Amino acid sequence: MIASLNTVERSFDRGACRYDELAVVQPQVASTLLAKVTSKVQAARSIVDLGCGTGRLLADCQSLNSHASLTGVDISQQMLASAEKAVPSAQFYRSDLAKTPLGSATQDVVLSTSAMQWVEPKAALSEAARVVNDDGLIAISSFLHGTLKTWRQAWGLEQKLMPLQSEFMDAANAAGLIVIELTSERIVQRCNSFESCLAGVRELGAGGDRVQPQGLLGRNKFTQAQHNVKQHIERHGVFPMEYDVLYLLAKKA
Ligand SMILES: C[S@@+](CC[C@H](N)C(=O)[O-])C[C@H]1O[C@@H](n2cnc3c(N)ncnc32)[C@H](O)[C@@H]1O
């Protein structure tokens, strides 16, 4: 189940001011992705980051290659406001990353990290394929379905929130892309309080909206989840917050 664009936008607008301070897993994922494509970034004339957030990855690209034309796309106005401060020379568009105003075949490198889990993979990868140059590179990382499994169990949440790896593979095929590299990893943050778990989820974005204690039902769920998490911590010392991350490098066929 993909969250609505408005839900995601509102959630990131709210989280933007403390995102760089609180996000732990996302910078790690972005560094891993960048390390895979450093030489391409250094040689690129144009680079776009789809779902650029506060612009950290674009700032890193600028350090590696000060000549490239840099573009950031994000749905959240507040995230973009931070990104504009971080990388004043870049161009920014407030847009759905699956429907950007960018021209076709205009980008040497198309990056996206920790953002595509909120978009249908087919729509996201077909837009990446549209904007990348014929000899360009698409490099994305995204959270996958197994992300926050134990946390979601504590909340009694059963519906699918994030895409499966196979959906990205199908989407790459449908977009006419050749997959150059496909890897995944599980990152586990071990939290020692319910509150620290909650802070991590909020930085992930739309997940934050699902745990607001609204109404009696919401408050009951919140109390039950709090109890489940505390009980887990009492038994095991920590609560695992799992992030299943996909890294996909692809080019046009
Ligand atoms: C978890 S943050 C990651 C930000 C940045 N890429 C990073 O690694 O720090 C996800 C970002 O994707 C953006 N986003 C989510 N859905 C989007 C969409 N459909 N179109 C554009 N941006 C989107 C959010 O506004 C947010 O800035």
pLDDT for the residue numbered 211 = 47
Q: Are strands 239-252 and 177-191 parallel, antiparallel or unpaired?
A: antiparallel
CATH architecture observed for domain 5-148+157-189+242-252: 3-Layer(aba) Sandwich (3.40)
pLDDT for the residue numbered 39 = 98
Alpha-carbon separation of residue 67 from 47, 64, 80 (angstroms): 11, 9, 22
Residue from 249, 231, 247 nearest 239 by CA:
231
Indicate which residue's Cα is closest to atom 13 of ligand 1.
Answer: 51
Average pLDDT of adjacent 10-residue blocks, the chain of 253 residues: 69 77 89 98 98 97 98 96 97 98 98 96 98 98 95 87 95 98 96 89 57 66 93 96 97 96
Domains of the chain, by residue range, sit at: 5-148+157-189+242-252
> Of all atoms in ligand 1, which is nearest to the CA of residue 205?
1
pLDDT for the residue numbered 206 = 46
Q: How far is the CA of 64 from the centre of ligand 1 (A)?
A: 22
Other beta carbons within 10 Å of 224: 13
Q: How far apart are CA 201 and CA 13, in angstroms?
A: 15
- Strand order from edge to edge, sheet including 132-143: 91-94, 69-74, 46-50, 107-113, 132-143, 239-252, 177-191
